[in-house]
Amino acid sequence: MRHPIPGLWSSGSEGGVNDRLCSPEDSEQQPAILLLDDDRNLLTALEGLLEGDYRVISVTSGVRALDVLQVEPVAVIVSDQIMPGMSGDELLARAAAICDANGILLTGCEDLDAVARAINQGRIFGFLRKPFAPEQLLMLIRRAAEHYRLTRELKVERELLRCLMDSTPDLIAFRDQHGRFFRLNRSMATALGLTAPEKALGKTLPELGFRESGADPAVDRTERLLAPEGARWYSTTRAGFALMDGSHGSVSISRDITERQQFQKELLCHASELKLLNQDLRQFAFATAHHLQEPLRQVASCLELIARRSPLQDDDRQLFDFAVAGARRMKALLRGAQAYTALEIRERTWVDCDALLKSLAEQLRPRDAQAVIRGVELPTVYADRDLLELLFRHLVENSLAYRAESPPRVLVKAGLQDGSWLFSVSDNGIGIPEEYQDRVFEMFQRLGPGSWDVRTGLGLAVCRKIVGFHGGQIWCRSCYPNPGTSIHFTLRVPSSLPEALQEPVECRPDLAAGAS
């Protein structure tokens, strides 16, 4: 049976010449060998020799071989030198223009001059003189097929590199140890003001009108490049490597970050403006709170003098007491607002939370002898001691203020979680309705009955500000109307500290759950 390409025969066909084809899966694994000889008996013998390891295609003329090479991916061509119509070396020369197959010539002694010319011209991979041992041919074909495979892989790698170099907007350049370009992509050439990459080959940056950065060969840095259309900023990564001749070179990849630099510059400008605005607002709030306290003090003093000079009726006395209490409360609110605006971190140090809580419990004991304030394995944290003490004071006093009928119990626990210390301050107080739990940290919030708001309403707002200073978050949980509330907050564990301040952090079990 004839093969679709004229001049080829399939297995069992007339003349005994075989064209062994296989499935696409086998084709990907087995290299194709093209056998060319006008001796059909020799072709049959060679097919049997190569069967199993290769996909074999047999032809009897050079013209038919060229037809095969147009449609079949062939790894190795094995051709007799003396062929009717077209010699073996002529075939391999024409095949080189069609494909990358490696050529092997089978020749006699009288053909050595032609073979030598073909080898010198690089048209053949190797040759065998007749007669030859089968093992010799197998070894030569194996070497030629492996060479073809490596050449194809190298070609694919080069094509991938070319696609990368041509398609990426990043600037890629390879330079030798003297700083001369030996390869660069079009983006790099454009950044250098060149119309083609070839115009930079063999030249250095100074020769192209640019200043060398003087950076270490292996470095990541941000660089400014003065291009024809103006200055551009690039984030550049450099790496050194050794060349095959023993010299050294470097590759650099630069990404245009001009827009990002401009955005960061604008962001810094806005941040500076915002900082100045916040300072103005802070000074205004502080001054306002300070200066309003004096008129309120005068109002309260005058009311008290009036009460001493003129006896008041019961109804008048009640109104009078409301006025005095309102003036005093307003004064307390102004003092609280003044303290709130003055909050800032002054100095961070290592703070023993366990010792801090014990000291606070001793200070609060005279106010409520029945209160139980307890800490469980509290850590040592890196924070502003004064602010941390104020944080615990507000949280504990808040628990004592909103107590239930039973003696107040406050439990403070902590554990490591996701790179931060997670604290919980739990009590057995009256609890907080769900609709107020997200609002308790806002300033001057009056949450529900007046009995809840006997103080200024700034304590938890101060807590939120202190926790924010330390890079943490704060929230509350309560199962109202059941008693008890848990305030949770996080304090970030610093990733790096000056050596003098470093202290090992003991990892304790996670104790973040609320008190039971």
Residue 301 and residue 239 in one domain: no
- What is the mean predicted confidence (pLDDT) over 480-485? 88
Residue 439 lies in a domain: yes
C-alpha pair distances (Å), 209 with each of 171, 190, 194? 17, 14, 11
CATH number at residue 158: 3.40.50.2300
**Residue 2 pLDDT > 50, yes or no?**
no
Its domain, for residue 98, covers: 14-164
**Residue 10 pLDDT > 60, yes or no?**
no
- What is the mean predicted confidence (pLDDT) over 353-375? 90
Residue 459: its pLDDT value, please? 83
Residue 320 and residue 391 in one domain: no
Residue 49 and residue 129 in one domain: yes
Residue 515 lies in a domain: no
Residue 93 and residue 155 in one domain: yes
Residue 63 and residue 157 in one domain: yes
Residue 294 lies in a domain: yes
Last residue of a domain, one of 142, 164, 186: 164
Residue 110 and residue 178 in one domain: no
Task: Specify the range with the lowest mean pLDDT, choosing from 266-275, 435-444, 494-503.
Answer: 494-503
- The dihedral sign for the CA sequence 117, 118, 123, 126: negative
For every residue of 430-485, DSSP letters joined together read S---GGGTTTTTSTT---SSGGGGSS-S-HHHHHHHHHHHTT--EEEEE-TTSS-E
Residue 245 lies in a domain: yes
Max distance between CA atoms of the chain, in angstroms, equals 145
CATH number at residue 195: 3.30.450.20
CATH number at residue 361: 3.30.565.10
**Residue 191 pLDDT > 80, yes or no?**
yes
Residue 220 CB partners (closer than 8 Å, separation 6+): 235, 236, 237, 238
Last residue of a domain, one of 164, 188, 217: 164
Residue 188 and residue 122 in one domain: no
Query: What tens digit of pLDDT does each residue of 142-158 get?
Result: 999 999 999 999 999 99
**Residue 284 pLDDT > 70, yes or no?**
no
Residue 425 and residue 410 in one domain: yes
- Supply 357's token pair: 């809580």
Residue 379 and residue 477 in one domain: yes
Residue 85 lies in a domain: yes
Residue 360: its pLDDT value, please? 93
Chain centroid to Cα 339, Å, comes to 41
Residue 73: its pLDDT value, please? 92
Residue 211 lies in a domain: yes
Residue 418 lies in a domain: yes
Residue 388 lies in a domain: yes
Last residue of a domain, one of 211, 230, 256: 256
Query: What tens digit of pLDDT does each residue of 447-480 get?
Result: 544 443 445 678 888 899 999 989 899 999 998 8
Instruction: Say how far apart CA 349 and CA 368 lie, in whole Å.
Output: 31
How many helices (H) and strands (E) the chain has is answered by 12, 17
Residue 242 and residue 275 in one domain: no
Residue 340: its pLDDT value, please? 72
The whole-model pTM stands at 0.47
Task: Give the count of beta carbons closer than 10 Å to the beta carbon of residue 369.
Answer: 8
Across all residues in the chain, what is the average pLDDT?
80
- Domain count for the chain, please give it: 4
Residue 496 and residue 362 in one domain: yes
Residue 424 and residue 281 in one domain: no
